[in-house]
Every structure is written in C-alpha cells, then in structure tokens.
Amino acid sequence: MAESGVTDGLCNTDDIERSKTEGKELTKEEKQRLRKEKKQQKKNKEKNDEKTSHEGEKKKNKKKKEEQPAGSASQPPAQPSPKAVPAPAPPPPAAAAVPVPASEAPAPADKPAKSKADLKAERRARQEAERASKGKKGDVGQPAPTGKLKAPPSELQPVVKRLPEHVQVDNPEVVKKLAKKLERQQIPLRSDYGYKVSLFSHLHQYSRKAPLTQQLGIPSTVIHPAIVRLGLQYSQGIVAGSNARSVALLHAFQQVIRDYTTPPNEELSRDLVNKLKPYISFLNQCRPLSASMGNAIKYIKKEISNIPSQCKEEEAKIKLLNCIERYINEKIVLAAKAIAKYSIEKISDGDVILVYGCSSLVNHILCEAFEKKRKFRVIVVDSRPRLEGREALRRLVQKGISCTYVLISAVSYILPEVSKVFLGAHALLANGYVMSRVGTSQIALVAKAFNVPVLVCCETYKFCERVQTDSFVSNELDDPDDLIVTRKGKTQLEHWQKVPSLGLLNLVYDVTPPDFVDLVITDLGMIPCTSVPVVLRVKNVDQ
C-alpha cells in the first residue's frame, strides 16, 4: 500500500504543480494527493507507528465501507459517530474530503487501495488545519485521537510551550481565566494599580497600600494563617531576598503540614498537593513567586506525591517535615558554607571587593572571609528606591569590615579602585543569563569595560530552566509609589497619576548576559556561566 501511494504521488505532483501555477483551486483529488505526499514524508520517519496506525486504519476502513453505501448525504452526519471511535472531531474539509461519491469519479476505483493512506493523510491534514486555526495555544494533545497517533504530530509540530499567565496581563482572556481559577479556589483577585509603562503593560503592578487581606475574612479559614502571614510579609517587603523567601515559604509549609489532617476517603499524597495549590496562588497574588521558591515548591510536591499510600498519616507528616528540614539544610545552609569555602580561595589579601545591594550569600561569604583573616575592603553600591545596600553595609560594618558606600551612579568613578566584583543572583537561567536585582547588569557591564573580574555566587537550587535574553519579557513591577520621595518638605511626584503622559516604572529584576560574567561559584564548584544547562541536566538525571 505504501508503494502504491508513493508511485501515485509521484505521478500526480506535476498535475498539482501545474494547477497551482495556473492559479486554479486544487481539486479534492489533488488535495488528497498532496496530503498523501506529506504522509509519505512522515512515514519515512516513523516506521514504528505504521503498524499501530494500520490497525486504526483497518478499523476505519471497515467503517468506511459501511459508510459508503449509506450515501453522501448521510456522510457528514454519520461522521461524528464512527469517527468517535478512534478519531478526532471531524471538521468540514476533512468530512468533505472523505469520499463524497459524486465529485470523485476516478477516486472510487482507487478507493479500497487508497483508503487507508487517505484516511491517515486526511487525519493529519485535519490536525494541521486545527492547529493552524487554534494558533499558539498549542493543544498538541487534543487532535491526537489515541496514543497511537500522538507521537507523529508532536514530533513534527514545533512544541509550543504555553506562556505563563503572569506575563500576559494585557490579554483579557488570560486575565479572565485567572479570575475564574482564583474564584474557584476562593482567593481574592488583586487588582492592578496605576498607569503601566507600555513596554511593561504585560506584567502585574500592585500597590502596597492595597493588601490582599482587605478582601479576606479576618479569621482566615480558607487559607492557613501561616500562609496569610507569609503573604503579608512578602507584599510588605518584610521577607525579601531569594533565600529568605524560600526559607520562610518552607517554614510556612511545615506549619501547614503539621496542622493538616487527611479527610476521610482521601489519600494524603493527593489531597495535600491539592490543598497547597490555593495557597500557592494566594502567595503568587501577594508577590510573584521567585525561581527559588518555584523549585522548592516542585520539590515539596514531588515529595508529597511520592509518599506511599500505606504510610500512616503521622509517619507521613514526620517524613515530610524532615524532608523540608533536609532541603533547607542541604540547599541553603550547607550550600552557603561550600560557596564560602570556594570563594575564599578567590579572595586575596589587599583586595577591593565591590558588592551590589544586599545579597545574603555575598554577605555571608565576606563575613566568613573576614573571619578567616583575609585582608580586604568592600565597596557597597546601592540604588534607589530599595536602598538595600544600607542593610548590607550595616551587616558588614558590624563585623568589622571596612566599607565604602556609593550609589550606582558613581560606579564608573569607583571602579578603577576595584579588584573584584561579587554579585548575588536571584536565579540563573538555562542559557547562562543571570537574573538579579535591577542594576546588576549595569555593574557587570561597567566592570567588563574596566576589565575587572565579575564573580556571581549562586546556589544550585536557584537554577531555573527558563530562557530569557532580555529583561522585558518576564520581570516584576513593584509599587510605583516607592519612587516618590519627599525632600525639604516637597514631594514632586505626589500627583503623578494626574499627569497623563507620566508613568512611574519600578523594575525589580534584570538579566546579565554571560559574556559579562567571568565565573559562577556554586555549591558544586566554580563553573563558567555557560555550564548552567549541564548542571540542570545532571540535576534532572539525579532526580
């Protein structure tokens, strides 16, 4: 059958091309032949699926032979029922393509021989048509009727990943979907605040003065009190910084697990994961989740689902609590120690180290190095509106390290003095880009211009499989009112909302390309920026 199809196809391509050039609409036969050709190409690739699809086609063939005597009129309505057996939804072109006896005089003669091939081609064409019409939503699974036909389409179609909803805020459908989901989970929707700069209108922008707890009942019953407290602390900035947020999140999850009781007729492994979903949505509404938090959540969910069903509730809970403790200990505390050990090798006496903002890991490294009696001094670079550098400065000076404090506008002035730059990271992306506090890429750029080595310190649990090459696509917009400052009793930006052409932008993160980063110090060792995907791959294999 395959060969006949091939030869037929070869003969007919000329016809088809002729008709194409003549501008005529392809007849149904020609369309069929085109599809056959495509099918042949696919067949060359999948030899395994032939056998399985043959069975499907045989079934279809039988049905087809039943259909034919029924007549053309009944064909379209009859389509749904037989098609339902192994087939996808029958769209009109395919239904019409299925032999409408009248128009295809030469076709019936070939019918028995070609039918299997036709069916397959038609099915594929239908799938492609559907996919093209549905656009980017990438419903790869839906057209594939059974597992048998799943492999061929997905291999050929470019796998379109769904865009996360938090970068599609300007798409009203996505917003509606999110609202519905939150309503189902009984979590209030936080509304955006203020005018958003057009380049970033696809991101959420919330106001700190409108906390999510306004819309929650006071003794919060839907959401565990520890999670409400955590959400408040996130949105008010009391818990800030990637490590702190992850630790606080895991602590809150510990409390949730402690207070959890399995409802009757439910399994802990499935029910607890479902319980955590609305909490995670709530925390996401309070402040978008960080990459480290995302990884921690994935780990917890995996641990919960791996609990065997015969495990008793108490044991399961203790096991989970220990898992969390271990995770924090390994990935955060011990990782910090390991990174400090590696970094200290890189710090020599007489060094002038530049740090930016307040990274808990970099502070830890510098304090450890100071304790190990290295002689160095630190330059702390800070930026508005967060002015986190003040906190870093306080911690370093408290230890006894001699520090200088500048604002980021003076970085090119101070860089000739600097011998090394240590930067912390919020996340390391799969293409080697470093996502960190806004301003980091500037520092790395200027340091590169001055030929000063830039070392990024990052634990492996912050490695993220996302790929980003610019800071626009996925970022976080903080409260624009933070930019308002009162000097000498005057607040110039107080009524910024009334000026129609004025928008305040308070970005939180930016991405630094790997060309500006000389070394990444992780708990696995010192790696170049481009080795991040290798680490991710190794991690996945381990898991």
Partner 1 sequence: MELQAVLMAAGGGSRMPDLTYNTPKPMLPVGNKPLMWHPLNLLERVGFEEVIVITTKEVQKMMSTDPKMKDVKMKLDVVCIQEDGDMGTADALRHIQQKIKTDVLVVSCDLITDVALHEVVDLFRAHNATLAMLMSKAHDFTETVPGQKGKKKTGEQRDFVGVDQSGKRLLFMANEADLEDGLSIRKSIMRKHPRMHIKTGLVDAHLYCLKKAVVDFLADNKSISSIRGELLPYLVRKQFSKTTNCPKSKDDADDQTQKTADGSTNSTELLICSRDEPLLQLAQERSCWNDHRGDMSEAYHGGKLRCYVHIMDQGLCYRVNTLAAYIEANRLASKLLEEPAVHPSAVISERCQMGPDSIIGAQCQVADKTSIKRSTIGNSTTVKEKVKVTNSIIMHGVTIEEGCNIHGCVICSNAVIGRGADLKYCLVGNGQQIEAEAERTNEVIVGTDQLMEI
Can you give the binding site for partner 1, defined by CB under 8 A?
211, 213-214, 216-221, 225, 228-229, 232-233, 236-241, 243-245, 247-248, 250-251, 254, 328, 332-333, 357-358, 360, 388, 390-392, 394, 397-398
Nearer to partner 1, 135 or 217 (CB): 217
Pick from 145, 125, 136: nearest CA to 49: 145
Q: Closest approach of Cβ 225 to partner 1, in Å?
A: 4
Burial of 347 (0-12, 13-18, 19+ CB in 10 A): buried
Shorter beta-carbon distance to partner 1: residue 233 or 522: 233
End-to-end CA distance of the chain: 45
Closer Cβ to partner 1, 243 or 284, answer by number: 243
Nearer Cβ to partner 1, position 244 or 536? 244
Phi, psi of 392 (to 5 degrees): -60, -40
Q: How far is the CB of 252 from partner 1 (least distance, A)?
A: 9
Q: Which is nearer to partner 1, 115 or 292 (CB)?
A: 292
- The CB-side HSE value for 514 (13 A sphere, CA atoms) comes to 18
CA distance 97 to 104: 10
Whether 434 and 521 have beta carbons less than 8 Å apart is answered as no
Residue with Cβ nearer partner 1 (149 or 328): 328
Q: How far is the CB of 357 from partner 1 (least distance, A)?
A: 8
CB of 388 to partner 1, least distance (A): 5
Using the CB atoms, write b or e for 492-517: b if 16+ within 10 Å.
eeeebeeeeeebbebbbbbbbbbebb
- Pairing label, strands 490-491, 486-487: antiparallel
Looking at the Cβ atoms of 23 and 217, the one nearer to partner 1 is: 217
Q: Which is nearer to partner 1, 237 or 294 (CB)?
A: 237
Go through 433-450 and write b for each residue having 16 or more CB atoms within 10 A of its CB, e for each that does not: bbbbbbbbbbbbbbbbee
CA distance 458 to 300: 21
Distances in Å between the alpha carbon of 531 and those of 45, 338, 510, 527?
Answer: 33, 18, 20, 6
d(CA 105, CA 336): 77
CB of 230 to partner 1, least distance (A): 9
How far is Cα 338 from Cα 525, in angstroms, rounded to an integer?
A: 8
Shortest approach of partner 1 to residue 248 CB, angstroms? Answer: 4
Q: How far is the CB of 351 from partner 1 (least distance, A)?
A: 23
Residues 6+ apart with CB under 8 A from 89: 80, 83, 130
Residue 530 Cβ vs partner 1, minimum distance, rounded to whole Å = 28
